[in-house]
């Protein structure tokens, strides 16, 4: 399956520059997710791949073929639109058969292909219903069926789950993964919801508000090793602490307001200098909270519990450190053994390993 390469893409609407010299490589045959906050230009990228927008500068490649100026109806790319954009004057069958009919295929071929797709998406019982009578989940199936029936090289998803409720969303995500496995088509999935992206993607890219791509990688790489403050904040929850780098022998520490000292493991290939301003990120679930003193951790700090938020599978503690920083800590509510009770205003210790601290580019 062919991948997509965006090269030096620039796009502006009037004086508003949406994308400036953007480069992105989307690997073929993979589930690729592009995430970013609303209005960052991710939909514009999608529309360029679909052919609904033409970049002011730069090129779009499908495989090795430059498709920048290929009209939208001649591209082997199909889109599942936000809110699906099903044709309201047609029934389910006509919607699905639409792309075959405009290609003037014989009725027999159309019948065969539509039946195959209908079986795949379990739409048999709704075949002749008007699309307006369908539920959100069913409409979405029709939208996907309509897009895959052409066997496109690339399938684009523009926030396809935005209109579904949470439970259905989780179910559809798993179905999408299965579908991608089954078809092997390149999927490009656009969302502002990081959990969706983490769930489905083989590869993902994070865009910031300025329309630049901050980081590309597997969901695990992005979650565990965010490169910038923006990525760390956007994907998941994280504690970001600012300070000054100090060196004691071989080891590096972050000095925060001359009050706290946090041990850091500087990854190989990264140059740091003493007295340099720096930013670190530490995920709340990688922090242990306890009222008793424990050994074996490279970082130990103490603080006072300010608030406790019960979230079902975990409990969130907000701990005020010596310098006033509010540290978030997640504790799994596994309840295998009886645990110590932590209450408001308790003095607690928080522990974490320096391997879990991520050094961030501060932008």
Q: Residues in the site for another protein, rule: CB under 8 A?
A: 50-52, 71-74, 77-79, 81-83, 85-89, 98-99, 102-103, 146-147, 150
Nearer to another protein among residue 85 and residue 294 (C-beta): 85
3-state secondary structure of 29: coil
Tell the smallest beta-carbon distance from residue 191 to another protein (Å). Answer: 18
The answer to whether the beta carbons of residues 37 and 65 sit under 8 Å apart is no
- Calpha distance 196→94 (Å, rounded): 30
- Calpha distance 286→307 (Å, rounded): 19
Nearer to another protein among residue 98 and residue 314 (C-beta): 98
Helix residue ranges per DSSP H, 72-201 = 92-101, 107-120, 136-148, 166-183, 194-200
Tell the smallest beta-carbon distance from residue 8 to another protein (Å). Answer: 25
Nearer to another protein among residue 155 and residue 229 (C-beta): 155
Q: What is the dihedral of CA 167, 172, 173, 174, to 10 degrees?
A: 100
Tell the smallest beta-carbon distance from residue 77 to another protein (Å). Answer: 8
Tell the smallest beta-carbon distance from residue 82 to another protein (Å). Answer: 8
3-state secondary structure of 109: helix
Tell the smallest beta-carbon distance from residue 186 to another protein (Å). Answer: 16
Nearer to another protein among residue 71 and residue 312 (C-beta): 71
Tell the smallest beta-carbon distance from residue 346 to another protein (Å). Answer: 54
Give the tokens for residue 71: 């009209």
Nearer to another protein among residue 61 and residue 98 (C-beta): 98
Q: Is 238 exposed, middle or buried (0-12, 13-18, 19+ CB in 10 A)?
A: buried
Nearer to another protein among residue 156 and residue 231 (C-beta): 156
- Calpha distance 79→157 (Å, rounded): 6
Tell the smallest beta-carbon distance from residue 5 to another protein (Å). Answer: 20
Tell the smallest beta-carbon distance from residue 96 to another protein (Å). Answer: 10
Tell the smallest beta-carbon distance from residue 209 to another protein (Å). Answer: 24
Listed residue (133, 40, 142, 35) closest to 81, CA to CA: 142
Q: How far is CA 289 from CA 139, 305, 314, 331, in A?
A: 46, 10, 13, 8
Q: Bridge partners of 228?
A: 361
The secondary structure of 194-255 as a DSSP string is: HHHHHHH-SEEEEE-TTS-EEEEE-HHHHHHS-SBHHHHHHSS--EEEEEEEEEETTEEEEE
Nearer to another protein among residue 96 and residue 260 (C-beta): 96
The answer to whether the beta carbons of residues 2 and 27 sit under 8 Å apart is no
Query: Nearest 5°: phi and psi at 186?
Result: -70, 120
Nearer to another protein among residue 144 and residue 350 (C-beta): 144
Nearer to another protein among residue 156 and residue 164 (C-beta): 156
């Amino acid at each position: 399956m062919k991948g997509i390469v965006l090269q030096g893409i620039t796009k502006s609407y009037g004086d508003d520059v949406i994308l400036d010299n953007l480069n992105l490589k989307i690997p073929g045959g993979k589930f690729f997710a592009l995430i970013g906050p609303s209005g960052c230009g991710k939909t514009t990228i999608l529309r360029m791949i679909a052919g609904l927008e033409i970049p002011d500068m730069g090129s779009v490649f499908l495989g090795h073929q430059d498709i920048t100026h290929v009209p939208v109806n001649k591209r082997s790319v199909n889109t599942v639109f936000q809110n699906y954009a099903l044709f309201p004057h047609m029934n389910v069958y006509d919607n699905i058969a639409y792309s075959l009919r405009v290609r003037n295929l014989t009725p027999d071929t159309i019948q065969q292909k539509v039946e195959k797709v209908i079986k795949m998406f379990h739409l048999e019982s709704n075949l002749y219903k008007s699309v307006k009578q369908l539920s959100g989940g069913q409409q979405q199936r029709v939208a996907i069926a309509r897009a895959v029936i052409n066997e496109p090289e690339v399938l684009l998803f523009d926030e396809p789950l935005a209109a579904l409720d949470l439970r259905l969303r989780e179910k559809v995500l798993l179905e999408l993964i299965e579908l991608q496995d089954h078809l092997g088509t390149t999927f490009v999935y656009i969302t502002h919801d990081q959990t969706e992206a983490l769930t489905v993607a083989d590869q993902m890219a994070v865009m910031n508000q300025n329309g630049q791509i901050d980081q590309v990688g597997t969901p695990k790489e992005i979650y565990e090793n965010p490169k910038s403050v923006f990525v760390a904040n956007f994907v998941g929850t994280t504690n970001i602490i600012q300070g000054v780098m100090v060196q004691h022998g071989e080891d590096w520490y972050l000095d925060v307001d001359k009050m706290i000292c946090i041990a850091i493991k500087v990854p190989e290939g990264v140059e740091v200098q003493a007295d340099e301003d720096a930013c670190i990120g530490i995920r709340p679930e990688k922090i242990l909270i306890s009222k008793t003193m424990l050994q074996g951790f490279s970082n130990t700090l103490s603080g006072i519990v300010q608030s406790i938020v019960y979230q079902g599978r975990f409990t969130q503690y907000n701990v005020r450190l010596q310098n006033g920083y509010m540290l978030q800590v997640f504790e799994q509510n596994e309840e295998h053994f009886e645990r110590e009770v932590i209450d408001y205003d308790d003095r607690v210790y928080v522990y974490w390993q320096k391997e879990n601290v991520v050094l961030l580019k501060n932008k």
